[in-house]
Amino acid sequence: MDVLEVNAKTTHEAIEKALAEMGVSRDEVRITILNEGKSGGIFGIGAEDARVRVERLMAEPVPSSDVAVVATETLQKLLTLLEVEGVVSPAVYPDESSEQPTAPVAFNIEGDDLGILIGRRGQTLAALQYVLRLIVGHKTETWVPIIVDAEGYKERRHEALKALALRMADHVKTRGSPFTLEPMPPYERRIVHLALADNPAVYTESIGEGESRKVVIRPKHPSSGPRGNSISNDQRSTVSNQWGNSLGQRSNTPGQWGNTQSQRGNYSRPRRQPPNY
């Protein structure tokens, strides 16, 4: 059963009913509300049922392989134009989060002297990937994540960042004080956030804007650190200010750490879930 139209008193009920009948979860379907429904007047006169259409979304192997073909050709063309000699081969990108509905199309470029293609902190590689996504997106009129790696740079970086994140989390746990990593591009911050997402002792957040945005690893229970009592009280108030102030009120107690910039970052964005990459 791939499409189902269901009537019920409210749209919510109708959707629940349809999902139950089809035996699928909400992310696997597209929901169209055909009629919002009306509750009607006295005695329910003029009431209308809500009506929704629920369609099961197909896994789309066909378009995604089209994308792979177009992407391969485009990437090869770009490399030729850049006069970079490299062999493009498909790759599997390690990504722990399987939230994405479509698997990324990933490439690895092998060749001599690809340092120039990677650029400082992978900047050139990021530009190449961005342009490739744009072109493929324009040509195929779909959006599939494409990942371009060169000589396994990103994969190495991924492992290195994970190791760094775990090491620093340990450090934060034993010291009881936060640690700020150096500025990183979004996908690298994401790796750190994901690596520590389930860590019982610490949580992560990003502060700063643009190029200088960086990850801070903070202890979940600041008072359990080996510091003195007065400090941990301050810490507790800082933490509760951060958590309670997502509406943007300025806290009266200045944070113990965190300059004005990190404060701004904190209350303009509610903390975690989903994390700010």
Q: Which residues bind another protein (CB under 8 A)?
A: 74, 77-78, 81-84, 116-117, 119, 123-124, 126-128, 130-131, 134-135, 138-139
Judged by beta carbon, residue 45 or residue 81, the one nearer another protein is: 81
Judged by beta carbon, residue 128 or residue 195, the one nearer another protein is: 128
> Using CA atoms, how far apart are residues 66 and 61, in angstroms rounded to an integer?
9
Alpha helices by DSSP H, 23-148: 61-82, 115-118, 123-140
Q: How far is the CB of 119 from another protein (least distance, A)?
A: 7
> Using CA atoms, how far apart are residues 191 and 188, in angstroms rounded to an integer?
5
- Do strands 50-56 and 29-35 pair parallel, antiparallel, or not at all (unpaired)? antiparallel
Judged by beta carbon, residue 11 or residue 129, the one nearer another protein is: 129
Q: How many residues does the chain have?
A: 277
CA dihedral 213, 215, 220, 223 (to 10 degrees): -80
Judged by beta carbon, residue 183 or residue 254, the one nearer another protein is: 183
Judged by beta carbon, residue 132 or residue 216, the one nearer another protein is: 132
Neighbouring C-beta atoms of residue 221, cutoff 10 Å? 15
Q: How far is the CB of 8 from another protein (least distance, A)?
A: 41
Judged by beta carbon, residue 68 or residue 231, the one nearer another protein is: 68
Q: How far is the CB of 78 from another protein (least distance, A)?
A: 8
> Using CA atoms, how far apart are residues 160 and 40, in angstroms rounded to an integer?
62
Q: How far is the CB of 130 from another protein (least distance, A)?
A: 5
Hey, what long-range contacts does 120-124 have (CB within 8 A, 24 or more apart)? 121/185, 122/153, 122/154, 122/157, 122/185
Judge contact between 218 and 202, C-beta under 8 A: yes
Q: How far is the CB of 97 from another protein (least distance, A)?
A: 24
Q: How far is the CB of 229 from another protein (least distance, A)?
A: 47
Q: Which of 103, 107, 215 is nearest to 155 (CA)?
A: 107
Q: How far is the CB of 120 from another protein (least distance, A)?
A: 10
Judged by beta carbon, residue 103 or residue 135, the one nearer another protein is: 135
